[in-house]
């Protein structure tokens, strides 16, 4: 029997009373594995009201106690790491190794949340005027919310609510309606870690539920990860309702390959970063910019991509899993056909891919195009599938100009043996996250995830110090104390007075 995905409101898991339910499917077979409610307005109201009440107490909890909750939580996440990964695989189709990576990158952010005390520190200047000191305090905002995508159902929620809650806020999470099961398990473990009732809520639904969160007067911040048109809508709607918004959008990530680069390393990294996770990563490399002699490497690249094939999550020979839905597959196939029609050379075509034993899955095989130009749809659009397009230029200057002209700025890489070329590239490129001989330069959580241009709407980015600033407000205090206020008498203990 298909399970009914519960809501998590005021510390309790419960079945929704909604009359509108959605199917959650396994993308390897498109069979229904769960039924998901679109939460009613009353249920949404109750979730926000519970978070608002909980905030009044939670903001007063000492910072070390909030950090200890995160220590307990990361321990439980590590203990249940493989179990969460299997659940994640069942709803995304990710191969097990990739699913484990999804969970682990989320755990790393929870570990950073356990360091919240140092991240909340303010600043002090003594004697800004005669006997007057000024100092700043970092204080929580209130109820925050997160709207998360299908492609990283563990990592991206864990980018959001642990840091927000550690900073003293409460949180309403609305996971993707395609992958809700992982978020519910994360909430179960959070409750088990000792989280007080109400500091985390999990609600489900689609646009109506998102619009409710974007317009609710008690929601202070909105975090979103998803496609460009939706990110733009989230940002505009949220800010119109006077909310602080960070909206992470699409990408078209380029790897610039210099002719002096290590050929084997380039090809291995291009293959993994383009077709890994079926290309369903916002940091996937989807464009190879081959400089001068590097263009001769396409036959070798094709040979290595031919060796990779999709398969079931528990198939050790599988390189990646299916696309998330039939709709997503149809879109990728349409773009592959458009690439052919517009004159690109399809060196390797995965559009007819079949996986034995799983005839109804959303499979697309590795696909490679050469002879691509910047006016083709396979270059201009984010394909979000296991498709790599190759462009050719003569110089590093041309490569930099090409990348800078692209409207997206999430991530980019350069592979080279030249320190001068790498230095020039990192300095001149207009992209927020740069890899030097690293294909997918996703920073660890003590830095921040810093996409630029059309890949991000907002000003403060995810995790790291910027996320703490996103989830907090700064209060500046200017103080003067008179001598007759100094207490008298000794204090013979280590306790503060």
Q: 3-class secondary structure for the chain?
A: CCEECCEEECCEEECCCCCCEEEEEECCCCEEEEEEECCCHHHHHHHHHHHHHHHHHHCCCCHHHHHHHHHHHHHHHHHCHHHHHHHHHHHHCCCHHHHHHHHHHHHHHHHHHCCHHHHCCCCEEEEEECCEEEEEEEEECCEEEEECCCCCCCHHHHHHHHHHHHCCCEEEEECCCCCCHHHHHHHHHHHHCCCCCCCEEECCCCHHHHHHHHHCCCEEEEEEECCHHHHHHHHHHHHHCCCEEEEECCCCEEEEECCCCCHHHHHHHHHHHHHHHHHCCCCCEEEEEEEHHHHHHHHHHHHHHHCCCECCCCCCCCCECCCCCHHHHHHHHHHHHHHHHCCCEEEECCCCCCCCCCCCCCCCCCEEEECCCCCCHHHHCCCCCCEEEEEEECCHHHHHHHHHHCCEECCEEEECCCHHHHHHHHHHCCCCCEEECCCCCCCCCCCCECCEECCEECCCCECHHHHHHHCEEEEEEEEECCHHHCCCCCCCCCCCC
Tell me the C-alpha distance between 35 and 22, whole Å: 6
Residues in the chain: 497
* Catalytic residue flag (residue 390): no
282, 346, 353, 390: which is the annotated catalytic residue?
282
Residues marked as catalytic = 282
């Amino acid at each position: 029997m298909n399970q009914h995905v519960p809501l998590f409101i005021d510390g309790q898991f419960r079945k929704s009373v909604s009359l509108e339910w959605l199917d959650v499917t396994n993308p390897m077979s498109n069979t229904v594995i769960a039924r998901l409610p679109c939460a009613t307005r009353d249920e949404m109201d109750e979730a926000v009201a519970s978070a608002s009440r909980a905030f009044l107490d939670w903001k007063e909890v000492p910072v070390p106690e909030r950090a200890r909750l995160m220590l307990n939580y990361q321990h439980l996440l590590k203990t249940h790491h493989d179990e969460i990964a299997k659940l994640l695989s069942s709803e995304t189709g990710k191969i097990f190794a990739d699913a484990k990576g999804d969970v682990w990158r989320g755990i790393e952010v929870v570990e950073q949340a356990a360091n919240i005390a140092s991240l909340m520190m303010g600043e002090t200047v003594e004697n800004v005027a005669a006997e007057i000191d000024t100092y700043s305090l970092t204080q929580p905002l209130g109820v925050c919310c997160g709207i998360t995508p299908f492609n990283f159902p563990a990592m991206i929620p864990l980018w959001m609510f642990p840091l927000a809650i550690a900073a003293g806020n409460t949180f309403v999470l609305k996971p993707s309606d395609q992958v809700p099961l992982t978020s519910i398990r994360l909430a179960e473990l959070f409750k088990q870690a000792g989280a007080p009732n109400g500091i985390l809520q999990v609600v489900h639904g689609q646009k109506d539920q998102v619009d409710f969160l974007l317009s609710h007067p008690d929601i202070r911040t909105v975090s979103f990860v998803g496609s460009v048109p939706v990110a733009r809508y989230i940002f505009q709607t949220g800010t119109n309702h006077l909310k602080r918004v960070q909206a992470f959008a699409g990408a078209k990530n380029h790897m610039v390959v210099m002719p002096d680069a290590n050929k084997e390393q380039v090809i291995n990294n291009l293959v993994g970063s383009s077709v890994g996770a079926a290309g369903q990563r916002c940091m996937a490399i989807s464009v190879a910019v081959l400089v001068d002699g590097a263009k001769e490497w396409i036959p070798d690249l094709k040979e290595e991509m031919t060796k990779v094939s999709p398969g079931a999550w528990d198939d050790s020979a599988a390189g990646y899993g299916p696309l998330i839905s039939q709709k997503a597959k149809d879109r990728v196939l349409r773009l592959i056909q458009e690439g052919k029609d517009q004159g690109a050379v399809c060196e390797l075509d995965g559009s007819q891919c079949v996986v034995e034993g799983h005839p109804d899955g959303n499979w697309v095989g590795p696909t490679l195009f050469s002879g691509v130009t910047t006016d083709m749809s396979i270059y201009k659009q984010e394909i979000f599938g296991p498709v790599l397009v190759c462009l050719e230029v003569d110089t590093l200057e041309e490569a930099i100009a090409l990348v800078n002209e692209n409207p997206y700025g999430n991530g980019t890489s350069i592979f080279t043996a030249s320190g001068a070329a790498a230095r020039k590239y990192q300095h001149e490129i207009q992209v927020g996250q740069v890899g030097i001989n690293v294909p997918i330069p996703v920073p660890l959580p003590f830095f921040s995830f810093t996409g630029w241009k059309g890949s991000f709407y907002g000003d403060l980015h995810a995790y790291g110090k910027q996320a703490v600033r996103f989830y907090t407000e700064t209060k500046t205090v200017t103080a003067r104390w008179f001598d007759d206020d100094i207490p008298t008498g000794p204090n013979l203990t280590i306790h503060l007075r």
